Amino acid sequence: MRAYVPAYQLISPASLAEALDVLSQDHGVWKPFAGGTDLMVLLEAGKLPHRNYVNIWNLKELRGIEVAEDHITLGALTTYTEIQEHPILREEFPMLCQAARETGGIAIQNRGTLGGNIINASPAADSPPALLAYDAELELISKSGARRIPYSKFHTGYKQMDMRPEELLRAIRLPRVKQPISHYYRKVGTRKAQAISKVCFAGVAKVDDGRLSHIRIALGSVAPIPLRCRQTEAALLNQKLDERLIKMGIDSLAAEISPIDDIRSSRDYRLRVSQNLLQDFLQHLAS
């Protein structure tokens, strides 16, 4: 059943300040509307529950990719296409570019935004595992000011976030790594393109003298939120990279993730694939 369009209201502020002013009034009444690639699907299906939206698509303050010596800042409205086309992101953050390539089709990539992918808060989203592995930081802004939080602390439960109703996600900040590291990103779905992931794996690591001196592991579709696997990282860090350690890492990952059975896949399949991906990642590092 399609939605009754006149039942919805969409306003378009001329500036970020005006948008924040609207969001500060009657907390929770107004919600941001950016690329709309998720919301329009719900609207067409007659399942879009909220009624009042603030169009932020044209706010220049939420756009742009800024490069500094120690970090890169992506405006919340940065599209998947813009991510793929940026030379420094391709060189230094290839997992994020790969996630952007594997999100939807060309139309979705041209319209969908990185900020929208984060705020939609799906545990199966493609970009969050890469952002977690890259130690991303979020900048949230409201009429009363701005604050930054590590992305790893942003998702607090299924579709729940450390974000107040009057706040907007302004930008995503990625720390630049000066030394060479290995990147590993895999999305497992029903088909190669335009599929929601059954498991999404992102990992970065550095090996020095046969030991893991740096490691970040993050997965999607294996928990209520995109998951940074800190316990598994701690078990592997500064250890000699051999078959014994790989086996220990696989066991640790199994204890840390909590996949479920759903329409796309089974718990057992997700668990096995997650372990296989970790094994493949570590074996690539060892070789």
Tens digits of residue pLDDT in 13-66: 999 999 999 999 877 899 999 998 888 888 888 888 889 999 999 999 999 999
Q: How far apart are CA 89 and CA 202, in angstroms?
A: 16
**Element (DSSP H or E) covering residue 78:** none
Is pTM, for the whole model, over 0.85?
yes
| pLDDT, position 1 | 58
Two structure tokens written together for 222:
């294996």
| pLDDT, position 253 | 98
With beta carbons less than 8 A apart as the criterion, state whether 63 and 15 touch. no
β-pair type (137-142, 168-175) = antiparallel
Give the pLDDT confidence of 112-143 residue by residue, as tens digits.
999 999 999 999 999 999 999 999 999 999 99
With beta carbons less than 8 A apart as the criterion, state whether 172 and 100 touch. no
Burial class (CB in 10 A: 0-12, 13-18, 19+), 158: exposed
SS3 letters across 164-188:
CCCCEEEEEEEECCCCCCEEEEEEE
| pLDDT, position 180 | 92
- Judged against a pLDDT cut of 80, whether residue 193 lies above it is answered with no
| pLDDT, position 237 | 98
- Judged against a pLDDT cut of 70, whether residue 4 lies above it is answered with yes
| pLDDT, position 100 | 97
Give the pLDDT confidence of 134-167 residue by residue, as tens digits.
999 999 999 999 999 999 999 999 999 999 999 9
Q: Measure the CA dihedral 139/129/131/191, to 10°.
A: -110
| pLDDT, position 41 | 82
Q: How far apart are CA 183 and CA 206, in angstroms?
A: 9
How many angstroms separate the Cα of 269 from the Cα of each of 38, 199, 205, 251, 276?
Answer: 27, 9, 25, 16, 10
**What residue ranges define each of the domains in the chain, with the CATH number in brackets?**
5-55 (3.30.43), 61-175 (3.30.465.10), 182-286 (3.30.390.50)
Q: How far apart are CA 162 and CA 164, in angstroms?
A: 7
| pLDDT, position 44 | 82
How many angstroms separate the Cα of 277 from the Cα of each of 15, 225, 226?
Answer: 45, 19, 16
Higher per-residue confidence, 83 vs 37: 83
Give the pLDDT confidence of 199-248 residue by residue, as tens digits.
999 999 999 999 999 999 999 999 999 999 999 999 999 999 999 999 99
